[in-house]
Amino acid sequence: MISAWSAADVRAAEEPLLVAGVPLMERASFALATVVAGDLRARRRSVRGAGVALLVGAGNNGGDALHAGAVLAGRGAAVTAVLTSERFHAGGRAALTRAGGRVVELFVAPDRLGAVVRDVAASDGVLDGLVGIGARGPLRGPAADLVTALRRAAGETGAAPWVVAVDVPSGIGVDDGAVAGPVLPADRTVTFGCAKPGLLLPPAALLAGEVSAVDLGLGLEGAPAVRRLEAADVARSWPVPGPADHKYTRGVVGVVAGTATYPGAAVLTATAAVRAGAGMVRYRGSGDVGRVVVGARPEVVAAPGRVQSWVVGPGVPAGPEAADAGADDGQHERGRAGLAAAAGRLAGTAGGPVPAVVDAGGLDLLDDRVPPWFVLTPHAGELTTLLRSRGEDVRREDVDAEPLRWARRAHELTGATVLLKGGVTVVVGPGGAYAQADGPGWLATAGAGDVLAGVLGAMLAARSAEVVEHPARAAEVAAAAALVHGRAAHGTNPGGPVAALDVADAVPREIAGLLSS
């Protein structure tokens, strides 16, 4: 698991170490230099003779860059520091000049910006130390001008140098992942002590490149702000069936999905639930669609009975489309019944409440407040509609700009666990926040969300009682489903296009791979 703590938590954890005289910056900058030296060797065989540019801001982040530059200069690199502020880390500057590095004071000669940009763009490696966890707002002043000019130059020439971000790409929202101003996209981020939320959260996460963390021995306490599950975490908690298990202990998934117009969604959802190891999949939607589903997946049972998780809504129309008489094939009524059962409110239902996945048209069927073992799975457009229906003045662009904030708002407003789909999938529930980036861009294809709903339905059914008793676990299960789904997409056709049904079909192999590694 990758755990990210807020800037304030990191500062609080650094404090006692600094008081005790632990040389944190020395450790951080030496580790940074080691990573950069490795990159330079991999890219041009040798550190000696490499041109390295340091972009240096006013604080300790610039200090890290200067000290790392001094180490690299000591190993024979030609290092130039570009100072963007009259304030800079004096010890770092002195170390760099002692080691033979050069310093350009851009802040006293802004007219040199063009020449500086040409030099930086031509270097073998750039260390972005303009600002780190001390950032307040988007980059401003000479730092902003420099990054804007570098981005423009890269756009014009198509050639961009190798960029290593120091702690974080300068100017990202460290705690919320926002990108409100110019940011130099990094090929790699070397982050100190622990990951920061903005390195996991979109849109900033997309500018961080590969993230390597340097352990500084920070005694971070309490819950991290954001987590990312890794394969080993999902494998560790997978409910592998044993000799005493039978189909009902493994979990029955009740599916209300698809319509005569969109029967494919029901097939995809049911197939994915079967493929993800459900003990049984019960199709509980309209009869016409049920026949299509059973035709495609003979394992599916289209009859009433016990259910340990519900999946309601894939391929069921929402909004104005659903208002057309009969357009929903009666699925809304069946979906409402499923959700009432999941909430434990359906008279005569044996077994009490169970988890539910609520997708697409199912999102229209929610009561004002729902239990936290309901996992809503909107994409950004659907989340916007949900929020607006509950009085929030929000646009799709706002959700794209701050997905964590708006997923959290939807959790607060509904009580549900919210999984916001996208290139990075963000999950928020009573158990905290997760950000998963497991799937290739090729996964953005029709029906992929239906597959995710089925996988998640099966995973919740297998842990039905546990999730209802400890709803904080719903977010972790949802994040695990996103991981399995994304990795299955990679496995389907590495490096090329994927089809939704193929992703579902790749799920069993993906799970076996997780469990055997």
Ligand X SMILES: Nc1ncnc2c1ncn2[C@@H]1O[C@H](COP(=O)(O)OP(=O)(O)O)[C@@H](O)[C@H]1O
CB under 8 Å to 211, separation ≥6 — which residues?
A: 2, 188, 189, 191, 195, 199
- Residues belonging to the binding site for AMP are 421-425, 449
Output 84 or 309, the one with its CB closest to K ion.
84
CA dist., res. 10 & res. 213, Å (int): 13
Which residue of this chain has its Cβ atom nearest to ligand X in the complex? 449
* Among residues 101, 132, 202, 440, the one that binds ligand NPW under rule CB under 6 A: 132
CA dist., res. 270 & res. 133, Å (int): 45
Q: Is 421 in the site for ligand X (CB under 6 A)?
A: yes
Find, among 495, 38, 2, the residue nearest to 208 by Cα. 2
- Residues belonging to the binding site for (6S)-NADPHX are 60-64, 132-138, 167, 265, 315, 379, 450
SS3 content of the chain, % helix, strand, coil (to 5): 45, 15, 40
* Among residues 4, 5, 14, 33, the one that binds ligand NPW under rule CB under 6 A: 14
Shortest distance (Å) from residue 421 CB to ligand X: 4
Name the one range near ligand X by CB under 6 A: 20-28, 154-162, 404-412, 437-445: 437-445
CA dist., res. 148 & res. 322, Å (int): 47
* DSSP string of 319-375, one letter each residue: HHHHHSTTTTTTHHHHHHHHHHHHTT-STT-TT----EEE-GGGGGG--SS--TTEE
Output 153 or 207, the one with its CB closest to ligand X.
207
Q: Is 4 in the site for ligand NPW (CB under 6 A)?
A: no
Q: What are phi and psi of 161, to 5 degrees?
A: -70, 165
Say which entry of ligand X, ligand NPW, K ion, none residue 448 contacts (CB below 5 to 8 A, set by partner kind): ligand X
Tokens of 105: 């004071």
* Count of CB atoms situated within 10 Å of the CB of 301: 15
DSSP letter at 301 equals B
- Site track for K ion across 164-203, x = CB under 5 A: --x---x---------------------------------
Q: What part of residues 186-225 is at the interface with ligand NPW (CB under 6 A)?
A: 192
- Site track for K ion across 209-248, x = CB under 5 A: ----------------------------------------
Report residue 396 CA to chain centroid gap. Answer: 18
Q: What part of residues 26-55 is at the interface with ligand NPW (CB under 6 A)?
A: 28
* Among residues 136, 219, 391, 496, the one that binds ligand NPW under rule CB under 6 A: 136
Rule CB under 6 A: which residues touch ligand NPW? 14, 18, 24-25, 28, 57-62, 64, 131-141, 143, 166-167, 192
Task: Enumerate binding residues for ligand X (CB under 6 A).
Answer: 379, 421-423, 425, 439-441, 443-444, 446-450, 452, 485
